[in-house]
Structure 1
């Protein structure tokens, strides 16, 4: 075992700038009573993590794993093992899944302990969304399969957002729309939503009638070939988009120019416009006074809390689980897993994702920075 830990730090004011930082590896004697030390094994990295960096100040993503200014740690989803524990009910060797830094270790203070999970109750996380502070024990997670860890890391956080968007649209009767349009349609969250809409359409009286993908020209063949969408349109062919029927736009791209073009094309037939991601983070800007419905930001943790209160967390998770397995079977048939191991490879993987160089059919897994 190495004596140091490596972290990837990103300049919060210029996310193209990143650096690898070395620090002494923590040991049991560094823990306070009630604390646990997690050795991070591996984690997924997708365009969703770039969104965390892009919107870090707005939604508090930089606050989960603080670093000395101007640096921040981009949160990721992955697996870790308890390497030291001063908590009476959490044993060394316990494996967990949850929100992690791009680092080799994480010190947590478990609270709200159940048979299935605990919450990190560290002071600096107390004001942050509960959904990001919970860690699941793999031993008691009914959806966990060791051989599917890569897909769980890559898809589960994104598919929870897809699931909540699907639920939100269903609860609002798709805002009376006949077609739902997804930008950045090759992104994994958009693909998840498209699959859920298509998978459940028969049980929803054929609604929505049409699911439309907007994507870059280079991704048209890939997106169309999946069968999740009824129509696939390149960004430079918006004239093919039917503007004569009520429509909902779910924008995963964050491209202000594209958003304005779609709003202008659809006009008053755009009954709802939802801003979700920022895949095209460098082109994101606020658009005001657009034709059609005013764009509204969709914050998944907030909607999860709202629906958990209405339905109960167990019922909500059961609804998600009913869609999880069919979607992972579908995605597993076409996704290619790429692994980046070690600090330099992880740094390059971060930059490749930031610069849009990762193909949509590729899922990137990053192995621990020090182990």
Structure 2
């Protein structure tokens, strides 16, 4: 058997290639996972854009320093196992490479999850090393795998952004939350969570082409174009949640918002307009800070306990997906893609911020797909 891998040049994310390599026999205690399908979104562009700084290239090393494997979220099935606690045929949800297969070295096992114990992942955030066993996963339903792959990791980040802001008192006093790239899935998931609080004005910034979509979502108090920053109250207590990574926009907002309490960097949907290195030090107001979701997971798990954390997340997830998949006015429709050429095209669209925000892309390199 062989494995297909979709690789991205680290210094030029638009340069991609597919590598095929023969599978090696499993060592004792390992499991080979066939990756059936995974979501490909702007979130994955963020993983690549911050691959060095945040360690995302380290999860699935390619053995070629110039080339990286972008992590994705999806579903797979155990094809082979030399681990007594992992059965062939078991279905898993988690963090995978863009590939047709991968090998895990299960460490800690629990009824609801497997933790990969590969030595090269030992120092990486634990939240990314956990693979949920679908048979015991409270968020899993067999008929919604596409929606889970597309929205689950994004909404978890959205929910944690909202929780972090509330936890640190940044939303007190009739605050205004300003979100760039408002049509992106993580942004409107955050807007949905913020809107549940009440007392927070949620302002979405977007392009003219996506304005109507954002307004129809119903979770933004107001939607503004990027050229309408003068309509923001300069003195209102505010937070900026930056999904775009656009350096010029960030500077304009810092200069406009005299009441800015916090500037949170989430993503890089405007991949070609990143701020130059060191630019943050020259901005007025609070220095932009990258939000790292696993840190908030650790904090809340320590404070609430894993069971309560899971219960709160599961309820928030159910509320969000009920709205996002409402038959009367769904926020999302799914497009399926198979094979290297299709994945390359979807990757370039995500990298360049093209495409319809209503569409979620599920892709596969699985053998025989196409």
Please say whether Structure 1 and Structure 2 have the same fold, judged by a TM-score greater than 0.5.
yes
Deviation of 1:89 after TM superposition, in Å, equals 1.4
2:313 paired with 1:317: no
List aligned pairs for 1:112-261, cutoff 5 A. 112-176=108-172, 178-198=175-195, 200-201=196-197, 206-208=198-200, 210-261=201-252
What SS does the corresponding residue of 1:59 show, helix, strand or coil?
Answer: coil
| SS of residue matched to 1:5 | strand
Large movers: runs of 4+ above 3 Å: none
Q: 1:40 aligns with which of 35, 39, 51?
A: 35
Provide the residue aligned with 1:345 in structure 2: 342
Secondary structure of 1:37 counterpart = strand
User: Within 2, Cα distance between the matches of 1:345 and 1:74?
Assistant: 16
Counterpart position of 1:278: 268
Is residue 36–residue 87 contact of structure 1 (8 Å, CA) maintained in 2?
yes
CA distance in structure 1 between the partners assigned to 2:235 and 2:34 by the alignment: 55
CA contact (8 A) 1:38 1:82 kept: yes
Tell me the CA shift for residue 175 of structure 1. 4.8
Give the conservation status (yes or no) of the 8 Å contact 1:119–1:134. Answer: yes
* 1:150-186: CA deviation from partner (whole Å, max 9, x where unpaired): 1100011111111111111111222545211111111
Equivalent residue number for residue 16 of structure 1: 14
Q: Distance in 1 between matches of 2:85 and 2:358?
A: 41
Secondary structure at the counterpart of residue 363 of structure 2: strand
> TM-score of the superposition, structure 2-length normalised?
0.94
TM norm structure 1:
0.94
Residues 286-295 or 125-134, more deviating: 286-295
Answer whether contact 2:203 2:224 (CA < 8 A) is retained.
Answer: yes
Instruction: Determine if the alignment matches structure 1 residue 78 to structure 2 residue 70.
Output: no
SS for the counterpart of 1:345 is: helix
Deviations 1:123-163 (A, max 9, x none): 11111000000000000112211110011000111111111
Q: Distance in 1 between matches of 2:31 and 2:11?
A: 32
Relative distance call for 1:185 and 1:246 in structure 2 (3 A) is same
Distance in 2 between the 1:128 and 1:47 partners? 22
Q: What do you get for the CA RMSD once the two structures are aligned?
A: 1.3
Aligned residues: 359
Tell me the secondary structure at the aligned position of residue 199 of structure 2: coil
Q: Secondary structure at the match of 1:242?
A: coil
Match of 1:92 in 2: 88
Inter-partner Cα distance in structure 2 for 1:281 and 1:315? 37
Report if the CA contact (8 A) 2:138-2:314 is conserved.
Answer: no
Q: Give the unaligned 5+ runs of structure 1.
A: none
CA contact (8 A) 1:180 1:249 kept: yes
- Stretches of structure 2 lacking an aligned partner (at least 5 in a row): none
Q: CA deviation at 1:288?
A: 2.2
Higher helix share: 1
Residue 41 of structure 2 corresponds to residue 50 of structure 1: no
Judge conservation of contact 2:324–2:331 (CA < 8 Å) in 1.
yes
Counterparts of 1:176 and 1:140, CA distance in 2? 38
